[in-house]
Amino acid sequence: MNSAADPEGRRTAPAQPWSRFFLPVIAVLAFLLLWECYARLVNPGPTVLPPLSQVVAAGWGDRINLASSLWPTVVEVGVGFAVSVTLAFLLSLVIQLIPSVRRAVLPLLIGSQTVPLVVLAPLFVVWFGFGLLPKVLLIALVTFFPIVVALLDGYASADRESVTVLQTMGANRWQEYRLLRLPGALPALFTGIRISITYAVVAAVFAEYAGAERGLGVYLQGASKSFRTDLVLAGVLVSAVITVVLFVVVTAVERACLPWHAGVKAVTP
């Protein structure tokens, strides 16, 4: 790091392991501890709020079922998210290169976000059945919008002078996009992905709830119907862990793909 000599740079540059790692872990542990203590001291009953230890034990005991329910959900999230990112990217590309499309499509896009999932999920089952397709569509619908918006914002945030430098070089619209706007929008894209990936698991569970043969949603539904609150909470814990894992993976990919961005951030706080 050349910036290490610069005291300004050094102050902001280090990725401090203490705050980056231990703080969130401590916060999570504190929350879990609170849960355990509350459930044991107040004792609201096993169908209302069983203690954490009981939930973990129940989940572990049912781990075969839980794992086999988890897998379809993970597949749905993976496929749905891939579809979502691809579509979002293509749409943002068209909007960026053909400005009149922006005006035409944006109201539709925003409108798509106001449809309540509770209504849509069962409808998707009616339209597309119990297979993978309705889940993928629902996940895409939920996660698509933040990604498109992030990309469009990223394109628009390109440095004015850099744009002009390219234009005086004779760059056409496509070159301007490929050489400047797209790479400049990647940090924003990753921000959009990080936001929307936290919705992806929820959307998948929701879609499964509305109608599926297997999956975490089905598992939760079953546990809930038989008043096994411990298993419901175990399922919820698992989906939370999955979401956190996805979030961390995205962040790691971002670091690996955009070394320049971490560097720029470190130098200019």
Partner 1 sequence: MTAVEAAPNAGARGITVEHLSKTFGSLAVLDDVSLQVRRGEFVSILGPSGCGKSTLFSLLTGVHDPDSGRCFIDGEPLAPSRRPFAWMPQRDALLPWRTVSGNVALGAEVAQGMRRRHARAATAHLLQDFGISEFADSLPHEISGGMRQRVALARTIAQNRNIALLDEPFGALDALTRTDLQLWLESMWRTERWSVLLITHDVREAVLLSDRIYVLSDRPARVVGEFSVDLPRPRTIDLLAAPKVAALEVELLHALGGTRSD
Site residues, partner 1 (CB under 8 A): 1-3, 159-162, 164-171, 175, 179-180, 183-184, 186, 258-261, 263-264, 266-268
Give the residue from 121, 137, 118 showing the smallest Cα distance to 76: 137
Shortest distance, position 22 Cβ to partner 1, whole Å: 28
DSSP 207-249: HHHHS-SSSHHHHHHHHHHTT-HHHHHHHHHHHHHHHHHHHHH
- What amino acid occupies position 191? T
Identify the sign of the CA torsion 255, 260, 265, 267: positive
Q: Is the Cβ of residue 26 or residue 264 nearer to partner 1 in the bound state? A: 264
Shortest distance, position 159 Cβ to partner 1, whole Å: 6
Q: Is the Cβ of residue 167 or residue 224 nearer to partner 1 in the bound state? A: 167
Shortest distance, position 184 Cβ to partner 1, whole Å: 8
Rounded to an integer, what distance in angstroms lies between the CA atom of residue 11 and that of residue 109?
Answer: 42
3-state helix, strand, coil in the chain (%, to 5): 85, 0, 15
Shortest distance, position 79 Cβ to partner 1, whole Å: 30
Shortest distance, position 193 Cβ to partner 1, whole Å: 18
In this structure, are residues 90 and 265 in contact, taking their beta carbons and an 8 Å threshold?
A: no
